[in-house]
Amino acid sequence: MVNSFGLFLSSALVLCLLKPVLTEPLNVGLESTQSRPMNTPERVKRALAKYNINDEKINARVRSAGGGASIELSSAYVDIEYLGYIHIGTPPQKFNMDFDTGSSDIWIPSMACGNSCGSHRRYDSTLSSTYESGANKTWALHYGDGSSVIGNTARDTVHLGNISQPGQLIGLVSKETAQFATDRFLDGIFGLGFPPLAFTGINNSIVEDLHWSGTIPAPIVSFHLGHYRDGGKGEILFGDMNADHFEGELKYVPVTIKKYWQVDLTNVMVDGNPILNKTLPAIVDTGTTLIIVPAYIAKEIHAKIPGAEYSPMYGWRIPCSFGEQTTEETIIFQLGQEEFPIPLRDFVRAKTSPSSGDVQMCYSGIAQANTPLIILGDTFLRSFYSVFDFGNARIGLARSKA
């Protein structure tokens, strides 16, 4: 996951046992919040750090009938991250979470966290009758840019909309670095990657566990990420998909390595011309803001946007007015054998300062870096309804609608 406060944020997955008891889908709403826009080079550095990539080193290196559970999402900091509320414990304690397919641990601040956790909500184990300390062990996540969270593991009931997962393994943070503490909205991370990516010691994904216990009808999690110009609302749905948020049929792409949600990027097409010179691994990451690509791809794409400019300080910037145009020009990303077009106007992000003459400039959703892999973050996912299918190790994508 790559967001304004760290494309490097972590997430968790956990398992369940099989029993046929279906409930309503879980819908979690996502929202975006606003603050100082982080410039593109800053955001890229943090995003790559999440995958232990050092740029400088690279230079030298309708809900269906079965039902699930949904949570409303809100876009924060002008589509930098999408957050939704969960509850933990008995009685439930509320937390605002980033649902991150780019990591696999669930973590929240605990009462043991002092000033380093800023104004975030803190979990109080003494108030929960379902808290289990038996899983307690030291736990830490350290990222390539020096940011980290440290604490202990425990188990408690996790409530997602109208469903619950008892005895879920979670990380209770006693210390976090400033990159997390300064995010005014995010309390913690809800990881939705595969178990090999986890640091808390989970053996399975919570999505699989919810399915195997019969709580949700399918081992899938689906996302609709709204654009700030349309209100920035979204939805995460556990165990089902919401046909009201997409048009046409889902196109499925196989996962190549079950760690991240990694697929093959087989082509990028500009004006119908292929510009990718080889197949590259691509990670589909709800916790990352940008699409991050090698420099030659970024240059070809931005050459199609009048007035686009690049600087080492700001990265790629685009005239803000371009986002208001009705042009239907697209850039096509080919994943496996399937093509996924994104309108050029959808690459326009938050306003930057200074502007270029009389033209107000905005950050681009496409960033360049010396990287051996592609990161397809929220700039990509806003154009598509996405279904992450644990059971079949595949990602389904269909054109999104509000």
Following DSSP, what letter does each residue of 211-256 receive, concatenated?
Answer: HHTTSSSSSEEEEEE--GGGT-EEEEEESS-BGGGEEEEEEEEE-S
In a domain, 19, yes or no: no
Beta-strand pair 188-191/93-100: parallel
* Secondary structure (3-state) at 323: helix
The chain-wide mean pLDDT, for the chain, equals 83
Q: Do residues 76 and 183 share a domain?
A: yes
Instruction: Count how many domains the chain has.
Output: 2
CA angle 232, 236, 237 (to 5 degrees): 145
Residues annotated catalytic, as ranges: 100, 285
* Prediction pTM value: 0.84
- Give per-residue pLDDT as tens, 309-360: 999 988 999 998 887 776 778 999 999 999 999 999 899 988 887 666 678 8
Q: Do residues 237 and 290 share a domain?
A: no
Q: Do residues 270 and 304 share a domain?
A: yes
- Give per-residue pLDDT as tens, 363-386: 999 999 998 899 999 999 999 999
Higher per-residue confidence, 142 vs 332: 332
Q: Do residues 208 and 275 share a domain?
A: no
Query: Which of the four pLDDT bands, split at 50, 70 and 90, describes residue 181?
Result: confident
In a domain, 372, yes or no: yes
Q: Do residues 299 and 359 share a domain?
A: yes
| Boundary (domain end) residue, out of 183, 207, 242 | 242
Give the whole-angstrom CA distance, residue 265 versus residue 273: 15
**DSSP label at residue 179:** H
Q: Do residues 296 and 374 share a domain?
A: yes
Maximum mean pLDDT: which of 28-37, 45-54, 185-194? 185-194
Q: Do residues 233 and 264 share a domain?
A: no
Domain containing residue 110: 26-242
| Boundary (domain end) residue, out of 214, 242, 270 | 242
In a domain, 9, yes or no: no
Give the whole-angstrom CA distance, residue 29 versus residue 22: 21
| Boundary (domain end) residue, out of 209, 227, 242 | 242
In a domain, 170, yes or no: yes
Q: Do residues 231 and 84 share a domain?
A: yes
CATH of residue 141: 2.40.70.10
Q: Do residues 304 and 165 share a domain?
A: no
In a domain, 116, yes or no: yes
Q: Do residues 132 and 209 share a domain?
A: yes
Q: Do residues 226 and 326 share a domain?
A: no
Q: In the prediction, which pLDDT does 104 show?
A: 93
**Alpha-carbon dihedral of residues 398, 284, 84, 39, nearest 10 degrees?**
-120
In a domain, 3, yes or no: no
Higher per-residue confidence, 351 vs 86: 86
Q: Do residues 215 and 296 share a domain?
A: no
Give the whole-angstrom CA distance, residue 9 versus residue 3: 8
In a domain, 81, yes or no: yes
In a domain, 227, yes or no: yes
Q: In the prediction, which pLDDT does 40 show?
A: 63
Is it the case that residue 35 has pLDDT exceeding 70? no
